[in-house]
Amino acid sequence: MRPEGPRDDYAGPDSGPEAPFPIKLQGPVIKGFGRGSKELGIPTANIPPEGLSAYPDLSTGIYFGYTSLHHPPSPASTTTTTTPNATPASTSDSVTIYPSVLSIGYNPYYGNKTRSIEIHVLHSFERDFYGSSLNLLILGFIRPEYDYVSKESLIEDIMTDCKVAERSMKREKWELQAHQGWEEWLRDFGWARGMTGEDVREVERKVLGQDEKGSVEEGKL
């Protein structure tokens, strides 16, 4: 259960990220449980958790960092977010970099059996990003995962997580331009070159253990 008491205003020291951060993960946006947008009003994008094998000691919990997205050409549809827009950290051509909050773990409130990476980008979008390519640069840890007595308590904590992340990343040593190589890595989508929709569906089947007609809904930003 979530401990009583006020939350910290910032995550991480003013001097910037400390080991093992930054942590670099990447993957296509795959189907998730469909709860972030529909039940919580906090849309998320899921990526495969296989990259976490390089960080066996990484705790489950809530983290923050930068997300870059490379969108495939597709018809637009509308989706909204309850969190206020954060200014994109960087934009160029079809790649945009945004501050983000994410969970790594099993979400005790819902009792997930499969570990997931669920990313909430701090921006409002007018289209879904299922099948887009995503680079994730994790800068720091906000808090552990908790179980909650109600959905409202969970939502309240997530909204606080978003505010903590935004404040934390506005500090000088946490800004994108303060670190050589961060933006270059976030803009590099060479790993996704040639990836098809069928490739994404195959990744989903491996991650979720379901066939193509499974009941898991598409994750949305």
CATH number for the domain spanning 198: value is: 2.40.30.30
Residue 204 lies in a domain: yes
pLDDT value for 207: 83
pLDDT score recorded for residue 174: 98
Q: When comparing pLDDT for 81 and 136, which is higher?
A: 136
pLDDT of residue 208: 74
pLDDT number for residue 12: 98
Residue 68 sits in which domain range?
Answer: 23-208
pLDDT of residue 38: 59
Residue 47 falls inside a structural domain:
yes
Residue 104 has pLDDT above 90, yes or no: yes
Q: Return the closest-CA partner of residue 119 out of 185, 29, 9.
A: 29
Give the pLDDT band (50/70/90) at residue 216: very low
Task: Assess if residue 121 is contained within a domain.
Answer: yes
- 46 in any annotated domain: yes
Quick check: is 40 in a domain?
yes
Give me the number of domains the chain comprises. 1
**pLDDT more than 70, % of the chain:** 79
pLDDT exceeds cutoff 60 at 15: yes
Identify the pLDDT of residue 210. 47
Catalytic residues: 118
- Asked if the model's pLDDT at residue 152 lies above 50, the reply is yes
Confidence of residue 82 (pLDDT cuts 50, 70, 90): very low
> Among 103, 101, 117, 108, which Cα is nearest to 207's?
117
Mean pLDDT of 66-88: 61
pLDDT: is 138 or 218 the higher one? Answer: 138
Residue 187 lies in a domain: yes
On whether residue 162 sits in a domain, the answer given is: yes
Question: pLDDT value at position 126?
Answer: 78
Q: Is residue 94 part of a domain?
A: yes
More confident residue, 166 or 80: 166
For residues 55, 9, 149, 154, the Cα torsion angle rounded to the nearest 10 degrees is: -70
Q: Chain-wide mean pLDDT for the chain?
A: 84
Please report, rounded to a whole number, the percentage of residues in the chain having pLDDT higher than 90: 56
Please, which residues have CB within 8 angstroms of residue 3's CB and are 6 or more apart in sequence? none
What number is the average pLDDT over the span 108-124? 83
Mean local confidence (pLDDT), 86-99: 72
Q: What angle do CA 150, 29, 21 make, to 5 degrees?
A: 80
